Amino acid sequence: MGSLRHGVNTYLGSCADGVALSLAAMHVKAPAHSEFSLLAGGPAHWIQQRLGLIKPGAPHLWRRAALAVAVTWVPLLLISAAEGLALGHRVQLPFLCDFSVHARFLVAIPLLILAEGLVEQRVMDAVKHFVHAGLVSQTDFPRFEAAMESCKALRDSVVAEAVLLALTVMSVILTSREFPFNFSTWRSFVSESVHLRTFTGWWYLVVGVGLFQFLAWRWLWRLLIWYRFLWLVAKLDLRLIPTHPDRSAGLGFVGDTQKVFWTVVVACSTTFAGILANEIVYGGVPLENYEFPIAGFAIVVLLFFLVPLLMFTPRLIEAKEKSMKEYGALAVAHNQMFDRKWVQGDNPAGDPMLGTPEISSLADLGSAYEILAKMRAVPFDPADAIVLLLAALLPMTPLLLAIMPLDKLLELLSKILV
């Protein structure tokens, strides 16, 4: 019995040491250059700094969003009014009746700019948390630093943003050859089956669509940089905590960071909804034709923002399997001691009681094992997926109500939430 007790006490001591190390890690000084900004860099950022649109500690998000509206939607309103295309019967689709242009320039573009403030702070906090929570050991600090520096170099790459600009130009050129309707609109007149783009239409295409496309491509690039950083971190020897209350071994904050991209999702979804509204109202396309595209869009959103996090899955599975064995052995030893002491009465004088501080330091072995058994193999929970799903579908609610009664829609949402 003495050897058994010694083995249990040794294991408990190692667990206590592990807890102490984890607590101490929270006070470990982070690397000197641990500040990581996903957005504050690159030629576009530097140009805005030179123009005074962005200042240190003051990104002026609302001012920049208002400026974006001022150079896209406002000129379109003024020019279309001067050309007699804002309202009236001169064209079948006047400017003020165009759902997509308002969705893109009054909602989507401002959201893509305002999202910078929300995403920037959350990503910075997440990067710091890897170190402050003790997930990255001191021996891995150099590799962690290298990961940050590598991603900063990609963020600041002139070549990368030149490619984004080239993609924007190509997108605008391809878009210039497409016209959504075969009748005259504020964007173009139809004469003998030939579309003649109006001056308002050219401003819409070159300035408005160009700005939107560049912002969209830039966000995609920033997301790829973020995923590269997470991939490099996932390759480190992370000090995971399988009994962490987040049920993701302490990585639940990564999923929480992903759902903050809901603003970007809403911007894309609003643009998609505006285009569909035009097709349905002016093109005469039944909404039922878009049931699968809408569902597909929602699925793509979940895949794009959550599937990359599966890079942590092998580590999480390994940590869970290892801890299940260790905690299982501990539970057997613990229960054997309990049975010998309290059931068989084998309790020699001076033998330590079961409730000594060394035992209670486990903070309830049963609860810890239950948390461990429910640990997920992914660093996100259903709530993260629900936030992204709602961000993808809520802007389309008016369209969905056209093909689905309100009570059925609410019933569907309640099932998703539950």
Looking at residue 244, its pLDDT comes to 85
Closest CA to 219 of 173, 155, 157: 155
Looking at residue 20, its pLDDT comes to 43
Provide the token pair at 351.
Answer: 């033998």
Residue with tokens 């995609």: 220
Looking at residue 8, its pLDDT comes to 45
CA 183 from chain centre, in angstroms, equals: 40
Looking at residue 306, its pLDDT comes to 94
Within the chain, which residues score under 70 in pLDDT?
1-34, 324, 326-370, 400-418
